[in-house]
Amino acid sequence: MPTVTEHYDKLLAEHYSRMFGDHDAKVAEQRALFERLGVRPEGDSEAIDLGCGSGFQSLALAQLGFRVTAVDTSDKLLAELDSRRGQLPVDVVRGDLLDALESPGPPCALAVCMGDTLPHLGSKGDVERMFAGCARRLAPGGQLVLTFRDLTRELEGADRFIPVHDSADVIMTCFLEYEPETVKVHDLVHTRGREDGRWRLSASFYRKLRLSPEWVCDRLEAAGFRVLHREIARGLVTLVARSGGGVGRDTNTGSEPCAGG
């Protein structure tokens, strides 16, 4: 079975950014999200972006005034981020997310793990290790922002085939197979040849963890965080937590409840 890194290297990294449309527009969307969540630097603030991809969150945070350490395992995606960062204070690091949290570095005011990166970890134990690593890396009162897909609810039949992107030369579809603790995510990419115009299929799969919002909230609190903000919109969970149980606004918005905290 391909690992997450192998899946991205073999197939997904080449097409990753196109799934989200215009790159600059996605960065602006993420900046607006951080502003809505009340995420802002205080002076010379450090942030670490765990699973940065091509930089939607890293660039948004740098625009807001953070100095960002952007961590990912994909050379292709990090190269794209490097080409887009310009003079923004973004340091690109290739490496495993858990290893990055154990590496020496200054205390961070903010850690983010966004998109759907959290379920990419190898086990629930690794998720708990990441939360513990963030608690150690963050300065007292530092914040952790998470987004992830709630895959605990199973789609059925044809709903398991999810259109991802279509253009004149690329069509991307995702197919889900549910297992007790994970979901096998099959990415199907059809590309049209430039010379002969023929369509060709490339396919690969990897596994994502099925993480419920309730379990994640519980494990955050066990690691010493207080969940300040929780929302679920169209299956995407957004959580903001503060290290050390700091005092802050506790809200719960969206169309579905998220227990814990």
3-state secondary structure string across 227-252:
EEEEEEECCEEEEEEEECCCCCCCEE
For residues 198 and 189, give the distance between their C-alpha atoms in angstroms, rounded to a whole number: 13
DSSP letter at 71? E
Q: Which DSSP string do the residues of 36-47 spell out, in sequence order?
A: HTT----SS-EE
> Per-residue DSSP letters for 207-229?
EEE---HHHHHHHHHHTTEEEEE
> What share of the chain in percent tops pLDDT 90?
82
Residue 233: is its pLDDT beyond 80?
A: yes
Residues 6+ apart with CB under 8 A from 227: 217, 220, 221, 239, 240, 241, 250, 260, 261
Give the integer Cα–Cα distance in Å for 214 and 233.
Answer: 15
Q: Give the residue-averaged pLDDT of 91-106.
A: 93
245 or 88: which carries more pLDDT confidence?
88
pLDDT at 3: 87
Structure tokens at 58: 């890293």
Residue 91: pLDDT above 50? Answer: yes
Q: What is the pLDDT of residue 259?
A: 40
Q: Work out the pLDDT band at 105, boundaries 50, 70, 90.
A: confident
Tens digits of per-residue pLDDT, 128-172? Answer: 999 999 999 999 999 999 999 999 999 999 999 999 999 999 999
Please tell me the distance from the alpha carbon of residue 165 to that of residue 49, in angstroms, as a whole number: 25
* pLDDT surpassing 50 at residue 258: no
DSSP code of residue 12 = I
State yes or no: pLDDT of 249 exceeds 70. no
Query: Please, what sign has the CA dihedral across residues 241, 120, 99, 129?
Result: positive
Q: What does DSSP assign to residue 168?
A: S
Three-state secondary structure call for residue 204: strand
Please, are residues 51 and 116 in contact by the beta-carbon 8 Å criterion?
no
Amino acid at 118: L
Task: Report which secondary-structure segment, H or E, holds 182.
Answer: strand 182-192
In this structure, the chain runs to a length of: 261
Segment among 3-7, 45-49, 133-137, 180-184 with least mean pLDDT: 3-7
pLDDT band for 213, please (50, 70, 90 cuts).
Answer: very high
Average pLDDT taken over every residue of the chain: 92
Which pLDDT score, from 0 to 100, does residue 246 have?
43
Per-residue pLDDT tens over the stretch 24-34: 999 999 999 99
Find the distance separating the first CA and the last CA of the chain, reported in whole Å.
Answer: 36
Region 225-237: mean pLDDT is 95
Outline where the chain has alpha helix (H).
4-7, 23-36, 56-64, 75-84, 97-102, 124-137, 213-222
> Quick check: helix, strand or coil at residue 7?
helix
